[in-house]
Structure 1
Amino acid sequence: MKTIIYAHPWKGSFNHAILSAITEDLKANGETFQVIDLYKDEFNPVFTAAELKLFNVGDTPYELVKEYQKKLNQATELIFIFPVWWWDLPAILKGFIDKVMLTGFAFLEDSKTNELKGLLTNIKKTTIISTSTTDKLYIESQGGNAIQGVFINRTLADLGIKNEYTKWINFSGVNLTTDENRKLFLEEVPQRI
């Protein structure tokens, strides 16, 4: 099942238009999918003391985290939709990774080598769709590159989501482009995932 993880608070945003274009295409093609809308769900990305107390044993008192884990267990494909803010993922998406990807669910740690073994091997394909005011090549050239270098090559890989099945599509200059370019992207993006 395709699972979309959406992280933008404003329904008038281009990110929301991307979400709508993809979900409308999936419906038109009769595909089964589910959406995790972090802002709509009022997901709290901040750890509480009670949550952190359970973190090392892979548990959580937060029912929404358990619901997200069920959805991720059903997923064979992930589609992330988010804006790049300050060269990185939005805080709500980082909090989603921190709080949902718990030991025993998303990974195991070898006590001797401290290496991680990813457990989300049910995910066979991942597409990251981001928007930015800056050009993707500029983002990629910056030291560390939080999207490709950290999120895709490290975080997702450590969770068992293989890089060779992960694609990053970025819509650059979202604030400067024309409505014509936005419309073209919205028409093309469902075929690119």
Structure 2
Amino acid sequence: MPRRILIVIGHPDPEPSRLCRALAASYADGARSKGHDVRVVDVANLDFPMLRTMEEFSNRPLPLTLEDAAQAIRDAEHIVFIFPLWLGTMPALLKAFLEQVMRPGIAFAYPEAGRDGFTTSLLRGRSARVVVTMGMPSFLFRLWYLGHGIAGMRRNILNFVGIRPVRETLFGMVDAVSDASRKRWLERMRALGASGS
């Protein structure tokens, strides 16, 4: 069954030759080849302010420049996040983007005034894949660092707003990758896109 898929490219450098963009393009090609509806949000090309206070997070309207991205998240059935690992987690620009579009009223709702209870996740029914490139071997990131930065994103952001399951694809040693390995990575992303997963 064709799915509505959103690809979020989280590399803050808009340089077209970045590996993250090649991985995103391969995924998109594979998905479109099987009839999936694909939208792409490239965070590096968006202009938006950082949130600095709880008041801004809870009550300030979403910037106009992010309305299309927020709607794409609402419309998607599956979201693919692609970014490089920086200091053990996502780049700051991607985090700032998520802080904007995963706010109350968009991704979750607080309990009604005067009532005890939990927040309501507004993005239930969606799945995600987190694709991360890194300079270290991916097994080292999983075993030694316990995948800390990605685990935090999965639990504290995506699962919190109802997105699950969240699968991971890690590409390590990217600075030393051979042309043959890079080609295999792109083919793997194309296959994932074709399967809509």
TM range (shorter): 0.7 to 0.9
Aligned residues: 185
Alpha-carbon deviation of 1:122? 3.8
Matched residue type, 1:136: S
* 2:65 aligned with 1:64: yes
Tell me the amino acid that sits aligned with residue 156 of structure 1: L
Query: Quick check: 1:155 aligned with 2:160?
Result: no
Q: Could you tell me whether the CA contact under 8 Å between 2:48 and 2:65 is conserved in 1?
A: no
**1:27 corresponds to which residue?**
32
Report the aligned-residue RMSD.
Answer: 2.2
Q: CA deviation at 1:143?
A: 6.4
1:106 partnered with 2:110: no
User: Measured at CA, do residues 107 and 130 of structure 1 come closer, stay the same or move farther in structure 2, by a change above 3 Å?
Assistant: same
Matched residue type, 2:186: L
Closer/same/farther in 2, CA of residues 84 and 114 from structure 1, 3 Å limit? farther
1:138 aligned counterpart, secondary structure: helix
Structure 1 segments, 4+ long, off by >3 Å, are 110-116
> Pick from 36, 43, 47: which aligns with 1:43?
47
- Structure 2: give runs of 5+ residues left out of the alignment: none
Asked if the contact 2:5/2:76 (under 8 Å) is kept, the reply is yes
Shift of 1:14: 1.1
The Cα offsets for residues 130-151 of structure 1, whole Å up to 9 and x where unpaired, read as: 1000122322332670112x10
Partner of 1:183: 183
Match in the other structure for 1:4: 7
Q: Does residue 146 of the first structure (1) align with residue 146 of the second (2)?
A: no
Task: Tell which has more relative contact order, 1 or 2 (C-alpha 8 A, sep 6+).
Answer: 2
Report the CA distance shift for 1:156/1:61 in structure 2 as closer, same or farther (over 3 A): closer
1:49-89 deviation digits (Å, cap 9, x = unpaired): 8xx644323x4251022222211111111011111111110
Q: Match of 1:63, as an amino acid?
A: L
Could you tell me whether the CA contact under 8 Å between 1:45 and 1:92 is conserved in 2?
no
TM-score, normalised by the number of residues in structure 1: 0.85
Contact 1:4 1:79 (C-alpha < 8 Å) held by counterparts: yes
CA distance in 2, matches of 1:116, 1:152: 17
3-state DSSP of counterpart to 1:24: helix
Quick check: 1:44–1:92 contact (8 Å CA) kept in 2?
no
CA contact (8 A) 1:127 1:168 kept: yes
1:116–1:21: structure 2 CA closer, same or farther, 3 Å change rule? same
Aligned mates of 2:188, 2:140 — CA distance in 1: 23
